[in-house]
Amino acid sequence: MIHIHNGDVVAELALQAGLPGEQVAFREALANGPVPSDVDLEMRAQFLAAGYDLKLLRVRHGLQQLEETLGAAMKEDEVVLWFEHDLFCLINLVSLLVRFATHRRLTLIWNPQPLSQAELVPLFESRSAVTPSMIKAAARVWDAYRSNDATGLNRFTKRANPDFPFLREGLRLHASRFPSLRNGLGGMEQRLLEIIAGGVNEFRFIFERFSVDVPRFGFGDGDVMRTLRRLASGSTPLLSIVEQPASPVRVAFTLTPVARKVLADEADYVELNPPTGWLGGVDLAHENWWRWDERQHEIILSPSAVS
């Protein structure tokens, strides 16, 4: 038996709880960076090393080890997947459901609450078998997520799937990361700016509020800090930064006048700062500018790209 966890913390807790079998942390972040249909280990290694300020050789070696571990897991009597209802976990989970689709015994703990705060033994004892309908949905989602045509996600953002809880909510979170039709902000940027506009300025409190707000993105403090710093850079910054020497958690942010206009839907963020980076299989810097229509719950091609 092998357990695949959403991170090192839960893997360590499972080890301490004495759960039978091998405990493995899934050290990937497929909700971030390039995941096109032709993605390979080197592309992911370069992104993770650059994005998380890690040594490329170490990241490459870690991904190779993970790949070998997952390959060997096909020979185990049972594979148990442990993940939470947030976007970060959802994308990793979908990839693993596709990978282990043919395993003879694939079970799942798909928990609405953070696993680090849960009693793991009762959850393990109540684990359920992954259903064929869940596998089928995961395969379709994985294809849509990796496509360079973002509109393929719309079939999943429109309606709930009773066999796959949180799927619609999670994919709406992902789709919301595309520039909003109303002001060009992604959902993560929108939420962070609203928190700051509400009077929360210090990073540690911004992150605390961001992490507990539901539905949850599930990103760590490093991802949130990088997003805030990106909003504070570019040709037209939306944030000003006050740094505290040798104390990154004491960094404070304030809105610029332009940010207030964007939040009031009086200015468009991507017209001020053209998008960069990847969302699944979409390279925002080189492909058509997709937009998220939150009222219709669908991704559309930006009107400026059509004209």
Q: Where are the domains of the chain?
A: 2-174, 180-274
Structure tokens at 21: 């079998």
Series of mean pLDDT values for 10-residue runs along the chain (307 residues): 96 96 98 97 97 96 98 98 98 98 98 94 97 98 97 96 96 98 97 98 96 94 95 95 74 97 97 94 86 96 67
- Please tell me the predicted confidence (pLDDT) of residue 289: 82
Using only the alpha carbons of the chain, give its radius of gyration: 20
- Please tell me the predicted confidence (pLDDT) of residue 305: 60
- Please tell me the predicted confidence (pLDDT) of residue 180: 97
Contact present, 34 and 283 (Cβ < 8 Å): yes
Residue 150 CA: distances (Å) to CA of 10, 261, 289: 32, 28, 10
Q: What is the pTM of this model?
A: 0.95
Neighbours of 283 (CB within 10 A): 15
- Please tell me the predicted confidence (pLDDT) of residue 29: 97
Q: Which of 36, 73, 29, 79 is nearest to 51 (CA)?
A: 29
- Please tell me the predicted confidence (pLDDT) of residue 304: 67
Helices then strands, counting H and E runs in the chain, come out as 14, 12
- Please tell me the predicted confidence (pLDDT) of residue 66: 97
SS3 at position 25: strand
Q: Which of 98, 34, 30, 40 is nearest to 70 (CA)?
A: 98
- CA–CA distance, 56 with 78 (Å, rounded to integer): 33
Count Cβ neighbours within 10 Å for each residue of 188-198 and write b for 16 or more, e otherwise. bbbbbbebbee
CATH number given to 180-274: 1.10.10.10
